[in-house]
Amino acid sequence: MTRNANHKSTSPIWTASIICLALGGCQSALFKSAQPVPSFQTNAQFHAPLRKETPKQTTLVSSSAHECLARAMYFESNRNSDDGMLAVGTVVMNRVESPKYPDTICEVVGQKGQFAKGVLTKPTPDPGYSRAKVVASEVLTGARHKAVGRSMYFHTAGFRIPYKDAQYLVVAGGNAFYTRGATTDESIPTFTPLKLASLQFSSVQFLQ
């Protein structure tokens, strides 16, 4: 009887121990599964590296610059010649890029004694000015006269200038375009004289 009693008295304790161990194992498993994920894992999706966008390369040209360029073409070239207007526009842009001349189109065109008198102030009636504005837009978007190249000088065709180092490049729109450099007088071509009445110029300018 005593042995049976002891067996009965210890059995509940043993059973309880087993239950506690079992529960502890379950709790441990539950605890592990319930642990929060470290912040560097949960936040990774919110801190993905941002893509760097290449900034747009834009060149802003004011309406006044467009007008100044169109005026130079209108007054300095034969108004029926897109080729001549493009040549004048090329010279203007070459001067803008040169450290020897002003930095803006309007300053270059308006420089005293360089372009036609009143180039920035005289009326610009059609025909011709609409054409000049179209060609000016082309120049401002990169168009250049290939034969003019880097030339920064021109004068009315049919005249001779006193510079022995002038190297002529092309005649376009009633103007002779040239560069300055060491050369001989024999390399300067003779141009057929043109009647000024047939050319739509306001004046003859020897560009220095």
Looking at residue 137, what is its pLDDT?
Answer: 97
> Measured between alpha carbons, how far is 149 from 154 in angstroms, rounded to an integer?
12
Asked if the structure places residue 157 within a domain, the reply is yes
Domain of 94, CATH number, reads 1.10.10.2520
Looking at residue 12, what is its pLDDT?
Answer: 53
pLDDT in tens, the chain (208 residues): 444 444 444 555 555 554 444 455 544 444 444 555 444 443 333 334 444 444 333 345 789 999 999 999 999 999 889 999 999 999 999 999 999 999 999 999 999 999 999 999 999 988 899 999 999 999 999 999 999 999 999 999 988 788 889 999 999 999 999 999 854 444 444 333 333 323 333 333 444 4
Asked if the structure places residue 53 within a domain, the reply is no
> Measured between alpha carbons, how far is 194 from 156 in angstroms, rounded to an integer?
9
Asked if the structure places residue 46 within a domain, the reply is no
Looking at residue 36, what is its pLDDT?
Answer: 52
Q: Look at residues 112, 91, 74, 69 and name the one whose alpha carbon lies nearest to residue 178.
A: 91
Regarding pTM above 0.75, the answer is no
Looking at residue 127, what is its pLDDT?
Answer: 83
Asked if the structure places residue 175 within a domain, the reply is yes
User: The domain containing residue 81 runs over which residues?
Assistant: 63-198
Asked if the structure places residue 124 within a domain, the reply is yes
Asked if the structure places residue 55 within a domain, the reply is no
Asked if the structure places residue 151 within a domain, the reply is yes
b/e burial code for range 156-184 (CB count within 10 A of at least 16 → b): bbbeeeebeebebbbbbbbbbbbbeeeee
> Measured between alpha carbons, how far is 28 from 98 in angstroms, rounded to an integer?
81
Looking at residue 11, what is its pLDDT?
Answer: 54
Asked if the structure places residue 164 within a domain, the reply is yes
> Measured between alpha carbons, how far is 154 from 168 in angstroms, rounded to an integer?
9
> Measured between alpha carbons, how far is 185 from 165 in angstroms, rounded to an integer?
7
Looking at residue 44, what is its pLDDT?
Answer: 36
Instruction: Give the count of domains, the chain.
Output: 1
